Structure 1
């Protein structure tokens, strides 16, 4: 477990498979770390199916400072059930209080139903839940996080994470919408949903394609790096990259599970 460098915000791709865990990657999960006052702060953006296992290669999950859930589809939140077990039953206790957790309205009740034999009151001993609200920023250590309500069939948010003068923009799951402009503007790195493929996926209001993600980043202005993520296993990443590259003026990167990128 290598700590982040002092001058950077580090983003580790725990899982980047879209809609379900793929053969080479868990579903959505991103570990974001930065230093402040002599210690490493760690937040997790989403905790989809399969992610908790891979997360343990990089950090003890009960040492995470906060979890941010973009929405309540299983590929973004279901491993919170495993984290509940870890936090509640780790021998000797986790040595800390409840994990600060932000999510859409009703997150606690949703996770209690998903687990199956606990109620939301029991979860409150493990997680301290707060509701996300559009543009209502909050702080976790060095991180200032601004959620943006985005376009998906359920209540869903993107996250703009700022620390040490750097900006990470994570779209979560979304189709094109006005919020992407403020989300991405001036970002050092954009992690962009690219679940859909132009010419194949014609339904609207669910996901971006590579070209639509690139177009949103261009419109936002000042974006340094564009990285495509959330591709289901049936996507050819090179097709998604090519569709984005037809719009994006620089290099189009593809998120790689297990890789750490310095922002």
Structure 2
């Protein structure tokens, strides 16, 4: 299983990265042909992400997009995906799975500026995420966990074949946007990699929106994860700040993601 960082800037696109988008890839059999192929699942698709996605994979080869929540910095470039599949190279392909909190297509319509008569039936196949209910996409299993954010949202646990040992199941937990909470900690328990948003520093005192580095570290320790990758850091924040905060509560492997990176799991 591989994690490709398509976009990682917090709350907006920034000078060094598109907004949130993470591509998870794994090898597995195609149910139609029986041949082994690469399966591609995008986690979120914020502003600027769709164009950057092309540097990693042909968008025609996407199998699903999973949205953690409906804020524009995580879902905005779904309109580019729509254009690609209705009028562009993806025209005529089977509808792609679009999973997210209940009513995800209503959110797409809001961004697109259309009414309920637009069904996107040729482009998208809607799936509503439910906490604890797994969604299977080829060799990958996506299991949502309820987040603590300002709108309904989820973190997601992605399990698939280990890159180093395909006979072993590896695990990634992506927090989406959330403050530290028991449901997210439980969802991340024992994950090989924790991809954790870190939108706040200790200067922000509001709760129920984002984590600080210290809260990420505490959550990682309680969940017993293997490695922590910080993401969703605001473009005006020096990454050294949340790293230093995380180090007050987490002694294990720690890094900050950057657009274009590939992490093996």
Shorter-chain-normalised TM-score: which range?
A: over 0.9
Give the TM-score of the pair, scaled to structure 1.
0.93
1:66 Cα offset (Å): 0.4
CA contact (8 A) 1:211 1:247 kept: yes
CA contact (8 A) 2:85 2:93 kept: no
Q: Could you tell me how far apart the structure 2 residues matched to 1:34 and 1:209 are?
A: 31
User: How many residues end up aligned between the 2 structures?
Assistant: 252
Report the equivalent of 2:166: none
Is structure 2 residue 171 aligned with structure 1 residue 173? Answer: no
Report the equivalent of 1:255: 257
Report the equivalent of 1:74: 72
Gaps of 5+ in 1: 1-8
Q: Could you tell me how far apart the structure 2 residues matched to 1:136 and 1:90 are?
A: 33
Q: Could you tell me how far apart the structure 2 residues matched to 1:95 and 1:36 are?
A: 24
Report the equivalent of 2:165: none
Is structure 2 residue 59 aligned with structure 1 residue 61? Answer: yes
1:120 Cα offset (Å): 5.6
Q: Could you tell me how far apart the structure 1 residues matched to 2:104 and 2:185 are?
A: 27
Gaps of 5+ in 2: 30-35, 162-168
Report the equivalent of 1:115: 112
Report the equivalent of 1:228: 230
Q: Could you tell me how far apart the structure 2 residues matched to 1:119 and 1:57 are?
A: 34
Q: Could you tell me how far apart the structure 2 residues matched to 1:251 and 1:40 are?
A: 28
Aligned equivalent of 1:240, options 229, 236, 242: 242
CA contact (8 A) 1:29 1:46 kept: yes
Q: Could you tell me how far apart the structure 1 residues matched to 2:226 and 2:218 are?
A: 14
Root mean square deviation of aligned Cα: 1.2
1:122 Cα offset (Å): 3.4
Report the equivalent of 1:4: none
